Amino acid sequence: MSIRLGGILFGLAITAVLVLWSLLPGAYNYAFGPAPEKQPSYAFYEHGEGPEAGFSFDGAFGKWDYAQLQRGYQVYKEVCSACHSLKFVAFRNLQELGYTEAEVDAEAASWTVPGIDPATGETTTRPGEPTDYFPMPFPNSIAAAAANNNAIPPDLSLMTKARHDGSNYVYSLLTGYGEPDPEKAAKVGFETPPGLYFNKHFPNVNIAMAPPLAVDGQVTYADGTNATIPQMATDVAAFLTWTAEPSLIQRKQTGWFVIGFLLFATVLAFLSYKQIWAGIKPKKG
């Protein structure tokens, strides 16, 4: 018995030595190795906070602001859609933004989508129908890269879910263009590479997208709202939140109903548990 125990302990000790042995080089490197270098551009990155007033859909009781979603759609249509696709959204979905069926028909028809000539079978273009999806701005990714300084404009359908804190990120990115602090830039020798633009809210601060919202009043809103750059950025961020998750508000409302029911059921379950155990719980003392 004691020999067996000794053998086990010996084996364990060898294992422990092996573990420590293989971990030591890393620890040594940490203590005495060179510090990792960071690119100078990281010094200019700032985390974007989003619009000051927040979004109407924020929080557990959030609601869509339909006028805002329609304005955001207008910004997408007149500005973003030149380069960015929205491939998971169909024109019929626009009805959820508060448009009537006739308005959706008209809106769909204002877009040109690829089609097939029914007489000859050749590819052609035709006005969109509600069942069509938003068209791609470029025929393929090579054409997209060629037209955009070798950067492919990403699809925007899921953008606010594909970035951390996405709605605020989109707003911040659109309002984050500018120039780096010249003193700081001179100190670390930072320069925006040719063909790229400085944006303090883009992870590596050099973005290939030219400032899409350049001047106030770039879009003339149908509802007369003053189209400042922050206003347009907020509206399009809200619209892209809807495209990323059309069920957002329905989800939260369903959630309250479900949790309300479960609270009720859990209280009942607790009371029946107490009643069933009443006879078995020990009397203290």
Partner 1 sequence: MSFAWAKQYEPQTAFTKWLDEKLPFPRLVYNAVGAGYPVPRNLNYMWNFGVLAGFCLMIQIVTGVVLAMHYAANAQVAFGTVEHIMRNVNYGWMLRYAHANGASFFFIVIYMHIFRGLFYSSYKAPREMIWLLGVVIFLLMMATAFMGYVLPWGQMSFWGAQVITGLFSAIPLVGEPLQVWLLGGFAPDNAALNRFFSLHFLMPFVIAGVVILHIWALHIPGSSNPTGVEVKQESDTVPFHPYYTAKDGFGLGVFLILFTTMVFFLPNYLGHPDNYIEANPLSTPAHIVPEWYFWPFYAILRAFTGDLSIPFTGIVLIPAKLLGVIAMFGSILLWFFLPWLDKSPVRSGHYRPMFRKFFWFGLIPTMIALFICGGAPAEEPYVVISQIATAYYFLHFLVILPIVSQVEVPKPLPFSITEAVVGKDKPGGTSGGGAIDAGSVVEGLPGTATDGSLQPAE
Query: Does 146 engage in binding with partner 1 (CB under 8 A)?
Result: no
Q: Show Cβ contacts of residue 50 under 8 Å, excluding neighbours closer than 6 positions.
A: 165, 167, 168, 169, 171, 172, 237
**What is the distance between the alpha carbons of residues 67 and 75, in angstroms, rounded to a whole number?**
13
Q: Does 17 bind partner 1 (CB under 8 A)?
A: no
Kindly state whether residue 41 participates in binding partner 1, applying the rule CB under 8 A. no
Measured from the CB of residue 265, what is the shortest distance to partner 1 in angstroms? 6
Taking only Cα atoms into account, the Rg of the chain, rounded to an integer number of angstroms, comes to 29
Structure tokens belonging to residue 220: 């003339």
Q: Are 239 and 69 in contact (CB under 8 A)?
A: yes
Query: Any contact of residue 32 with partner 1 (CB under 8 A)?
Result: no
Which residues in 70-129 contact partner 1 (CB under 8 A)?
88, 93
Cβ nearer to partner 1, comparing 93 with 192 = 93
By CB under 8 A, residue 25 contacts partner 1: yes
Closest CB 162 distance from partner 1, rounded Å: 4
Name the residue among 149, 141, 111 with its Cα closest to residue 129. 111
* Minimum CB–partner distance for residue 81 and partner 1 (Å): 19
Q: Half-sphere exposure of 239 toward its Cβ, with a 13 Å CA cutoff?
A: 26
Cβ closest to partner 1, residue 26 vs residue 178: 26
Is residue 47 a contact point for partner 1 (CB under 8 A)? Answer: no
| Region of 44-52, 103-111, 231-239, 260-268 interacting with partner 1 (CB under 8 A) | 260-268
> Coil, helix or strand for 160?
helix
Number of residues forming the site for partner 1 (CB under 8 A): 55
d(CA 193, CA 185): 13
CB 184 within 8 A of CB 43: yes
- Rounded to whole angstroms, the Cα distance separating 111 from 126 reads 8
Measured distance CA(107)–CA(92) in Å, rounded = 10
- In the bound state with partner 1, the residue whose beta carbon lies nearer, of 222 and 262, is 262
Six-digit token pair at 204? 């590596």
Q: Is 10 in the site for partner 1 (CB under 8 A)?
A: no
Please list, residue by residue across 179-188, b when 16 or more beta carbons sit within 10 angstroms of its beta carbon and e when fewer do: ebeeeebeee
Closer CB to partner 1, 112 or 272, in the complex: 272
Min CB(237)–partner 1 separation in Å: 15
Restricting to residues 182-221, which ones interact with partner 1 according to CB under 8 A?
203
Judged by CB under 8 A, the stretch of 50-58, 192-200, 230-238, 258-266 that binds partner 1 is 258-266
Applying CB under 8 A, which residues contact partner 1? 5, 8-9, 12-13, 15-16, 18-27, 29-30, 36, 60, 88, 93, 154, 157-158, 161-164, 166, 203, 244-247, 251-252, 254-256, 258-259, 262-263, 265-266, 269-270, 272-273, 276-277, 280, 282
